[in-house]
Structure 1
Amino acid sequence: MCAVDKSLLQLAKLLPEFEDIQHVLPQQEIEARYILQRAAKHFKQLYSMNDDVEELGYLVEALVDKNWERIHSGHFSQVPLTTRQIYALGCYYKIFLLLLIDSGVEQRERCSVILDEALLLGCTENLYDQSNELQTALMKYLDDIGDKNEVGKPLPILKAVARVACRCDIPQLDTPSLSEFRACCYDAMQPTLLLNTLKHWPALGKWRDLNYLLKVAGNRTVPIEIGSNYASDEWSQQLVKIRDFLYRQFSDEDTQVEYLAQHELFSQIPALKADICIPDYCSVNTESPSSVDIKAWLGPKLTVSPLHTDPKHNLLCQVFGCKRIILAAPADTANLYAHEGEFLGNTSQIDAANLDFEHFPLLSKVRFYELLLQPGDCLYLPPKWWHYVRSNTPSFSVSFWFE
């Protein structure tokens, strides 16, 4: 084997010993336990190199492929957590085995894709004590490939959207206390526009410079929605590099609309998570605290989320740009013509921005509420409230779903 990059050897020290990961491996996963134990032992004794690296590489590759097939054999929500954890661990070892052979630019690009797939499909949370540290350090190592990441001219710095006085059909509260939020919003199940609650977020000043997003996140692979509306027949999804998405959507005028929507970007890119804060309002239910699901929504103007519902409480926070939002209460569900079937069962067939009373006569019974979500605003949405969202400008929103 050729000489190994010393920084890679240092990174390998962050890989787990088998004792660190055996708690996520059921006893019946005999094959996975054998391969991962052998891989952990190999990297613990890396300097002696007394293992058959080629054979170990085949075993790890087979483990990754097998669990990739398991993940894709049914609905993602039904995939056992252990399958996703085994897949993630296999990807970690696969990356290091590839880099020990070749740590050049093309190999790092390949390994970067593998790491993103581990984060997207696997489950890296609480795998072992140093898992997050390994993820961050490995991401930095793989992205350190010089001019290969430079693409074309600089991206624009988006102009700040001037705040305007406009229609708002729901209550507005200016930085409410936690007790006020609980009484007026959470317990009352009342959609509310919360003002001046995000002023301390570094993201408000940093993310409009798309070159910052390019530098921090450009090499990551993410799922992108193709088409402005996920309920349309033309809609599809594709895995792309964030840098390619940014250049297409914010530099080219005639490109098809793409949307980075409902993606757990901040677990994938911890550096971006440092630019935001989980609102205190997410901890309002202290009797039964739960984890918070953080989702990113980044796209050009004219992206649309059709009228739909979510099962959890939601704080939709606007970082830059503005969005037109139309709401309807859960009590009107029977009049909103939800699609049939599991995939779109929470989505209405109507265009909330252009009501068609001839084809959907029950809409005459529905009361709709409208507002404009502007930079720095936070919209509280209780579970099961219908909401339509359309970006009037290039936009970055962050949603926090909680129980």
Structure 2
Amino acid sequence: MTLNLQDIPRVKTISKDDFITHYFKPQKPVVIERYIDDWPAYKKWNLDYMKTVAGHITIPLYDDRPVDYKDGFNEAHATMKMSDYIDLLKREPTRYRIFLWNALKEIPELQKDISFPDLGLRLMKDIPMLFFGGRDSYTFMHYDIDLANIFHFHFEGSKQIILFDQNQNDYLYKVPHSLITREDIDFAKPDLEKWPLLAKAKGFKTELNHGEVLYMPEGYWHYMRYITPGFSLSLRGIPRNPKNLSKAIYNLFIMRHFDNAMRRLKGQEWIDWKNQQAIIRTHKKNGIAV
């Protein structure tokens, strides 16, 4: 058995009206293949260019190690000069990724290489974020703390994308008081005997290539694996659905602080309890005895 995933729809380009009608209002993902052909970034942005403009900067790095109680919320696992990191990406596979890096703030000249999409969403223009990864590095299945609408632009190489909407939560082994599923689930090739309820989840998949943009609706779960070394830019817009906006406010101002406090108070016992609860609660919601 495999995951129940349908291909994300693809269009060459799209008008504002069509995007709002067919994707934003029904909250469905889409890949736009040729939307940024006129951006300077389309031709300029690759790993070598980033090494040239940002090689001197020390950047925070993350890997796929399990959550440890000693780690703060989204706390980096290592640091490295950007030039050394790009050399590493090109030399060999590495689990180290750059996560939520506001490079356009640190390197203002990059701002001239992009423009903000006019697709009917009010984007947060002060926090364009870059993400880098080496071959076979990946993010755990998660959703973003602010449940934003996201335009995700990919540069150099390709990456595998798997998405689920929030309606699939009962099948994903969601870890309570967090934004992730069980970290030991390999969504690239999941063991459905060990995680049988994943077979009930209905999701989406695609392979994102250089210059393509993925629209991820509010609160969508996403797993991303770098097929080749590369990087992506995310632009985000505040959730419009009042329910999602209230969840975002709760996550930002209550949930993450509560989780950090419990890590300090309970230590690894808190992490272990949450992981066990992911199984117990998922089974209970689906009428399975625990």
Is the shorter-chain TM-score for this pair beyond 0.5, marking a shared fold?
yes
Which of 290, 310, 316 lines up with 2:152 in the alignment?
A: 316
> Does the 8 Å CA contact 1:230/1:305 hold for their aligned counterparts?
no
Q: Which amino acid aligns with 2:130?
A: A
Aligned mates of 1:266, 1:194 — CA distance in 2: 23
> Does the 8 Å CA contact 2:104/2:128 hold for their aligned counterparts?
yes
Relative contact order higher in (CA < 8 Å, ≥ 6 apart): 2
Residue-pair matches, total: 224
Which of 11, 31, 49 lines up with 1:173 in the alignment?
A: 11
Give the match's secondary structure for 1:297.
strand
1:346 aligns with 2:179: yes
> What are the within-5 Å matches in structure 2 for residues 295-306 of structure 1?
295-306=129-140
1:232 CA displacement: 6.0
Deviations for 1:206-251, whole angstroms, at most 9, x for unmatched residues? 22361x32221111122122x3x2646699522322122122222x
> Does the 8 Å CA contact 2:94/2:137 hold for their aligned counterparts?
no
Higher-helix-fraction structure: 1
Identify unmatched segments of 5+ residues in structure 1.
1-166
The higher radius of gyration belongs to 1
> Does the 8 Å CA contact 1:231/1:306 hold for their aligned counterparts?
no
Aligned mates of 2:130, 2:47 — CA distance in 1: 17
Aligned mates of 1:264, 1:238 — CA distance in 2: 17
> Does the 8 Å CA contact 1:230/1:306 hold for their aligned counterparts?
no
Match of 2:114 in 1: 276
> Does the 8 Å CA contact 2:148/2:236 hold for their aligned counterparts?
yes
Match of 1:204 in 2: 42
Give the match's secondary structure for 1:307.
coil
1:192 aligns with 2:30: yes
1:334 aligns with 2:167: no
Aligned mates of 1:334, 1:372 — CA distance in 2: 26
**What is the alpha-carbon root mean square deviation over aligned residues?**
2.3
Change (3 A) 1:360 1:209: closer
Which of 97, 100, 103 lines up with 1:259 in the alignment?
A: 97
Q: Percent identity?
A: 28
1:170 CA displacement: 2.2
1:378 aligns with 2:192: no
Identify unmatched segments of 5+ residues in structure 2.
239-290
1:279 CA displacement: 1.8
Give the match's secondary structure for 2:7.
coil
> What are the within-5 Å matches in structure 2 for residues 354-393 of structure 1?
354-393=189-228
1:182 CA displacement: 0.9
Give the match's secondary structure for 2:98.
strand
Normalised by the length of structure 1, the TM-score is: 0.52
Q: Which amino acid aligns with 1:296?
A: L
Q: Which amino acid aligns with 1:249?
A: L
Change (3 A) 1:256 1:319: closer
Normalised by the length of structure 2, the TM-score is: 0.71
Change (3 A) 1:290 1:276: closer
Match of 2:84 in 1: 244
> Does the 8 Å CA contact 1:316/1:400 hold for their aligned counterparts?
yes
> Does the 8 Å CA contact 1:168/1:372 hold for their aligned counterparts?
no
